[in-house]
Amino acid sequence: MNSTLAVLVVIAHPDDETLFAGFIYALVHKINAIVDLVCITNGEGGFKYSAPSEHLYDNLQLSKESIGRQHLPRIRKQELLASGKILGIRKFFFFDQLDLKYDRNVDIVFAEQWNKEIIIQLLEQIIKTGNNTQGYDIMLIMLPSIESHGHHTASGLLALETIERLQQNKSTNIKIPTIIGGSEFLLNQLPIYSSNRLAEISSILPNEFRFNRRWTLNNTTNIPDYQTIVIWACSEHKSQGGLITETLTTYVREYEQYFYFSINNELNDQTHNGYILKKEKQFQNMSIPNTMFICVCMALIIPLLALSTSNQEIQEMMDNVNNEYDRFEESNRPSRQLFRSPIYKNEPYDNDHFILKKTADFEQILKPCNRMPATGRGQEYADCVRNRMLLMGRRKRRQTS
């Protein structure tokens, strides 16, 4: 199995990649991951925002719908390529689906704008061959939300449906990636998208992690933080007028927020889980921000291991996380917020929320779960682990209150 982490990002429009720009940049430049990107629409609907940039594009009246729809697909494709060059994206796949209008109703998107089956077929093909025979380890999608642009939600749902089909077909020699959803809003509780069961967030903790755009890069580039990278990426989308202004005002946020889907639990691929475990050990030895190691580890590894890995391996991993966290806490104490976990479904996040850090001896946490048969452990064992961690979280909270 290839030792390089491979990530496939799926977005709806050129410029949507800026929502995840900090994380993408860190994946490429800090852990040497391969990142490829799928853009589903041609971006022609962005003509409404194009007036400020017309003088940059041969004075074309891009804000006039007929002219904008004619030229923006070409222009916005080049803008995405330029943004991707900054972030380090390797390959681009353009599906050129119609970008007719803003609508939160995904049914209308599928009925009037996009060819759903073609998109799923293309996604399947890319998962199988986009990274040659190595496949992808992670698929990063736009988190479905009733508050989002319908194209954003639709792109995420189609990616989830693609993963489900690959799982159901049980195709051999195909690596099915772990799928995580990036939110365009900073959420204070677990997201719920009741219209489609595939968008359900995993109940296995931790099921959410955050990437802090204010983290320093800790290298020799003199780039102050990841927010600078985000602004650079936004600046390449000149045809979209106020994108930078919106990023710094209306949509300003310190964190990028990612969630782990329940559909990952259904795969339980032992080979892939073992590979992710090896990647965790590789992350420790890389010259990256410790927080980068932690968020990738917590988001990708522990939910998988809760289903299939021995307690000893989980214990070793938790020890590694604790050690990394201790070192990071000394150098960057404000970023403790990374470990805010949604322990209580209906309760907002806060700085005193349960932190997975030396809460108790790990064997003590798992003691009741270890009484289960060692073979054939599945969802019942995962639920036991989750419930024990909830209990320790409540104890921790009482002790610190």
**At which residue do the structure tokens 């290298």 appear?**
219
Nearest alpha carbon to residue 32 among 316, 292, 302, 374: 292
Q: Exposure pattern of 64-99 as b/e (b: 16+ CB <10 Å)?
A: eeeebbebbbebbbebbeebbebbbbeebbbbebbb
pLDDT of residue 112: 87
- In tens digits, the chain (401 residues) has pLDDT values of 556 899 999 999 999 999 999 999 999 998 889 999 999 999 999 999 999 999 999 999 999 999 999 999 999 999 999 999 999 999 999 999 989 888 888 989 988 899 999 999 999 999 999 998 889 999 999 999 988 898 999 999 999 999 999 988 876 678 899 999 999 988 888 899 888 999 999 887 778 888 888 888 766 668 888 999 999 999 999 999 877 777 777 677 888 999 999 998 876 555 555 555 555 444 444 434 444 444 454 545 555 555 555 555 555 655 555 555 455 445 544 333 333 333 323 333 333 333 333 334 445 555 666 666 544 455 566 566 656 555 554 444 444 44
Residue 206 preceded by cis peptide, ω within 30: yes
pLDDT of residue 313: 57
pLDDT of residue 35: 97
pLDDT of residue 319: 57
pLDDT of residue 285: 43
pLDDT of residue 93: 97
pTM: 0.74
Distance CA 378, CA 358 (A): 26
> Residue 333, exposed/middle/buried by CB under 10 A (0-12, 13-18, 19+)?
exposed
Largest CA distance in the chain: 72
Q: Angle at Cα 31 formed by Cα 28 and Cα 35, nearest 5°?
A: 30
Q: What's the token pair of residue 201? A: 């967030």
Q: Which domains does the chain have, with CATH numbers?
A: 6-267 (3.40.50.10320)
Q: What's the token pair of residue 175? A: 């690596």
